[in-house]
Amino acid sequence: MSRYILAIETSCDETAASIIKDGTEIISNVVSSQIDSHKRFGGVVPEIASRHHVEQITIVIEECLIQAGMEPTDLAAVAVTEGPGLVGALLIGINAAKAFAFAHGLPLIPVHHIAGHIYANALVQPMEFPLLALVVSGGHTELVYMKEHGSFELIGETRDDAAGEAYDKVARVLNLPYPGGPHIDRLAHEAQEAVPFPRVWLEEDSYDFSFSGLKSAVINYKHNLDQRGEEIIPAQVAKGFQDSVVEVLTAKTVRAAREYSVKQVIAAGGVSANKGLRNALEEAFANEGIPFYVPPLKLCTDNAAMIGAAGFYMYEAGVKGNMSMNGKPGMEL
Ligand code: KG4
Ligand code: ZN
């Protein structure tokens, strides 16, 4: 018998709900984005995010059930993002999930947001283990090794800014709107020449990342030209920045895939929507002969379908939350 999971995601600036069948099939997927409200501040304002979630959460859950043509009695469980994320934002989703689960006598499944990003791939093709995931989003830059379902080993992470955070900050320097990632991506493809920015490799055997030095290099470059009264060429700066980020992310992912002899490599998170990064990873893993996948764009950025996919495997493994569940802003994988 098929099992349907209602999933809820409110860790940042998307209020999202989805119904997933057996961890692999999207029945309905509703995302209410708040990007327009945060744009003028150049980033997500936590208090504004919470207020939007409060206004949207019941509408989004109801819409999700209507689109699926389902009743709460058709569901097997409610999965919800427990962390990491903005605590006020997380709590809106968690409380909605608790209320729904309690009212309809359903089990509650707490899901890690990054596990969700990785499991977005299970909605597209079967996951093959051992697997390596490059998780790149506004809050994360991580290389995760998975031996099997539910097992996550963090082998590398950012020591300062997340890749998406660096994109958004550099976009601000270039006077591009928030979120800046897609704009830099577009501009980078318009330039022939790139401003030469450094590559930060850290220690020779490290799988960690660092992007704050690169961000500072962009800021200094603009500052120096400003002082000389010269104009920067935004597309060349964007290409220089993107080339540096993509080269380091790709090289470390390839090295890890070789060392851990993985059968599948996946990219996840908002920055995996980046065309330059996708192309570089696709080419590199075609050469390596290792299958590489990125979920479609709407499953790369925050959504609840991915939480439902991860939640299903946790449900199968018997993981359960309870009514004292709390938001975990710094939750470890
Ligand atoms: O996964 P996500 O939707 O939210 C977080 O959990 O952080 O990722 C959002 C991040 C933002 O920093 C945004 O600028 C970045 O993903 N992003 C991109 C692209 N599309 C979104 N970065 C680079 N290139 C893109 N095409
Ligand atoms: Zn995310």
Domain with 220, as residue range(s), is 129-294
Q: Is the peptide bond before 110 cis (omega within 30 degrees of 0)?
A: no
- Let me know whether 195 and 288 are in one domain: yes
Structure tokens at 256: 């890890």
The Cα–Cα gap between 331 and 215 comes to 26
Q: Is 93 in the pocket of ligand 1 (CB under 6 A)?
A: no
Q: Strands of 77-83's sheet, edge to edge? A: 25-33, 14-21, 4-9, 77-83, 108-112
pTM, full prediction:
0.93
330 occurs within a structural domain: no
Please give the number of the atom of ligand 1 that sits closest to the Cα of 275: 26
- Let me know whether 283 and 147 are in one domain: yes
**Tokens 């018997």 correspond to what residue?**
318
* pLDDT band at 149; cut points 50, 70, 90: very high
Please give the number of the atom of ligand 1 that sits closest to the Cα of 300: 1
34 occurs within a structural domain: yes
Closest ligand to C-alpha of residue 169 is 1
Q: Is 9 in the pocket of ligand 1 (CB under 6 A)?
A: no
Q: How close is the Cα of 181 to the center of ligand 1, in Å?
A: 6
Q: Sign of torsion, CA 261 112 13 215?
A: negative
What is the tally of structural domains in the chain? 2
* pLDDT band at 38; cut points 50, 70, 90: confident
* 289 annotated to a ligand binding site: no
Burial class (CB in 10 A: 0-12, 13-18, 19+), 26: buried
The Cα–Cα gap between 251 and 109 comes to 36
The interface pTM score, or ipTM, of the predicted complex is: 0.98
The pLDDT value recorded for residue 39 is: 79
What is the DSSP track for 283-314? HHHHHHT--EE---HHHHSS-SHHHHHHHHHH
Q: Is 249 in the pocket of ligand 1 (CB under 6 A)?
A: no
